[in-house]
């Protein structure tokens, strides 16, 4: 489908939506995952659950369930294939998967659907954290961010703002509501506005977000 309304889905999105891969069809107890990640809430209409099986630090199997929309279904189906192909992705690499990586796999997504692709990579990171927690180990692949701090009072980085934008905060007021940025000393407000505008321009300037363009 291709028209001017922004509802532009690629063949990959359609195929993953119509024939989603790796949905969990048995109970969690039967599946016996090594790690489980849950993000969102059914009350908000968006919820993603990811279940992983790990051997030699490779995710050799991944299953998922969601109450999300068509884009969330397509994104997570594509993510499950990315993670499990060729014997399974190493946990270190899987932990670094970004929404852009998933959208690249799908070709592109309508800009107003970008936030749907964020659920999958967040839930996957939560599942990896759970894997280490179940083993009573620290996750050695959780890197300290090197992203510059924008708000000293609340320790909010550029990367944090980018993630909020990807999750649908497309103006400063929404960002502030979600993070409290700028509500203490207020010194960071001009910089925060500059940073959010940069990311909004990057992800939402066109009706369709294509990471390759």
Q: Which residues are at the interface with ligand FES (CB under 6 A)?
A: 151-153, 181-188
CB of 187 to ligand FES, least distance (A): 5
Exactly one of 69, 116, 153, 185 is catalytic; which is it?
Answer: 116
Helix, strand or coil, per DSSP, at residue 53: strand
Angle formed by the axes of helices 11-18 and 70-84, to 10°? 90
CB of 192 to ligand FES, least distance (A): 7
44 is catalytic: yes
CB of 97 to ligand FES, least distance (A): 30
Measured distance CA(48)–CA(41) in Å, rounded: 8
Residues 6 or more apart whose CB falls under 8 angstroms from that of 106 comprise 10, 12, 13, 16, 74, 75, 78, 117
Give the Cβ contact number of residue 28 at 10 Å. Answer: 13
Give the Cβ contact number of residue 21 at 10 Å. Answer: 16
185 is catalytic: no
State how far the alpha carbon of 193 is from the alpha carbons of 169, 173, 174, 184, 205, in Å: 12, 10, 11, 16, 16
Tokens of 213: 């363009």
Measured distance CA(90)–CA(54) in Å, rounded: 9
Of 87 and 186, CB closest to ligand FES? 186
Task: Give the residue numbers annotated as catalytic, written as ranges.
Answer: 44, 116
């Amino acid at each position: 489908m291709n028209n001017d309304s922004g509802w532009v889905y690629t063949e990959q999105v359609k195929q993953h939506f119509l024939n989603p891969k790796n949905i969990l069809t048995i109970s969690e107890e039967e599946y016996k995952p090594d790690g489980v990640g849950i993000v969102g809430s059914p009350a908000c209409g968006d919820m993603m659950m990811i279940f992983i099986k790990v051997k030699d630090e490779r995710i050799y199997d991944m299953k998922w369930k969601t109450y999300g929309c068509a884009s969330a279904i397509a994104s997570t189906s594509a993510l499950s294939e990315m993670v499990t192909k060729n014997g399974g992705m190493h946990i270190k690499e899987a932990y670094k998967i970004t929404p852009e990586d998933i959208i690249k796999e799908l070709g592109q997504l309508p800009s107003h659907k970008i936030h749907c692709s964020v659920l999958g990579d967040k839930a996957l990171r939560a599942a990896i954290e759970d894997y280490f927690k179940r083993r009573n180990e620290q996750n050695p692949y959780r890197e300290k961010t090197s992203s510059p701090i924008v708000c000293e009072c609340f320790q909010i980085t550029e990367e944090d703002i980018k993630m909020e934008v990807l999750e649908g905060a497309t103006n400063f007021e929404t960002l502030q509501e979600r993070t409290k940025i700028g509500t203490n000393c207020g010194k960071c407000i001009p910089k925060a506005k500059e940073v959010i505008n940069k990311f909004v321009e990057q992800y939402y300037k066109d009706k369709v977000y294509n990471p390759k363009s």
